[in-house]
Amino acid sequence: MDGQALITQMRRLMPPHDGAGDSVDWREAVRVWGVTFPQEYKEFVATYGDGEVDAFLTFLVPDWAEGSGPSGAMAGETTEARRMWLTKPPAGYGSPAAPPVIAWGVNARADLLCLMTAEQNSERWPVAVWSRGNLTWSVHNCGMPEYLVGLFRGEFDDMWADAEGVRRFVHVRETQRLLAIGIDPDTGEPNPYAGMFGPPPPRPARP
């Protein structure tokens, strides 16, 4: 199944709300990150972007500060993923000097979901997942959208065992808007703690 068909399927499983999605300068991302991100990942970012699903899995988007290298959550989680690769690489993949992973997600268990970038053709990058619980990597022979569809159908994680369930995605901008009006972004219901702790800190703007 091609990337666009997978995005269409994902829209049914995890509907994007109005205002979701991010615009990224992908040419600059190549310069800063040193790779060409897969087209299906670019389409995911344009459709969903920087946010989380079911208050469990946070998606990461390439970021950088002007005149510097990678920064933000993706850079931090990628650094950790590469450290874990050097510490305990997946069986059969060895321990190269430059671990071939870029993190695109992190869940509430601190597992790291990555693109495995060893293949020159980024459209063929598989997903590699570092499990914090059992301290092992698992490599899945599919791209990010196909992995997510399988994840939401309960094929990889019993967190989403209900194959017919609809997942709740909330972009970080929508999270801030809901919190400001006293709504819990995780449930869509009134937040009983609204206003008790002040407004959330603003997320840094992406160039």
Q: Do the Cβ atoms of 25 and 207 come closer than 8 Å? A: yes
Task: Tell me the per-residue pLDDT of 107-138, one tens digit each, with 9 for 90 and over.
Answer: 999 999 999 999 999 999 999 999 999 999 99
Burial of 176 (0-12, 13-18, 19+ CB in 10 A): middle
Q: What is the pLDDT of residue 184?
A: 86
Q: Which of 27, 17, 20 lies closest to 207 in space, CA to CA? A: 27
Determine the distance from the C-alpha atom of residue 7 to the mean position of all C-alpha atoms in its chain, rounded to a whole number: 14
Q: How many residues does this entry show for the chain?
A: 207
Q: In angstroms, rounded to a whole number, what is the distance separating the alpha carbons of residues 45 and 42?
A: 5
Task: Tell me the per-residue pLDDT of 14-51, one tens digit each, with 9 for 90 and over.
Answer: 999 999 999 999 999 999 999 999 999 999 999 999 99
pTM of the complete model = 0.87
Q: What is the pLDDT of residue 207?
A: 45
Q: In angstroms, rounded to a whole number, what is the distance separating the alpha carbons of residues 154 and 164?
A: 10
Of the pLDDT bands very low, low, confident and very high (cuts 50, 70, 90), residue 61 is very high
| Cβ-based neighbour number of residue 86 at 10 Å | 13
pLDDT above 90 as % of the chain: 66
Q: In angstroms, rounded to a whole number, what is the distance separating the alpha carbons of residues 82 and 100?
A: 8
| Cβ-based neighbour number of residue 47 at 10 Å | 18
Q: In angstroms, rounded to a whole number, what is the distance separating the alpha carbons of residues 136 and 88?
A: 7
Of the pLDDT bands very low, low, confident and very high (cuts 50, 70, 90), residue 12 is very high
Q: Is the pLDDT of residue 201 over 80?
A: no
Q: Do the Cβ atoms of 132 and 113 come closer than 8 Å? A: no
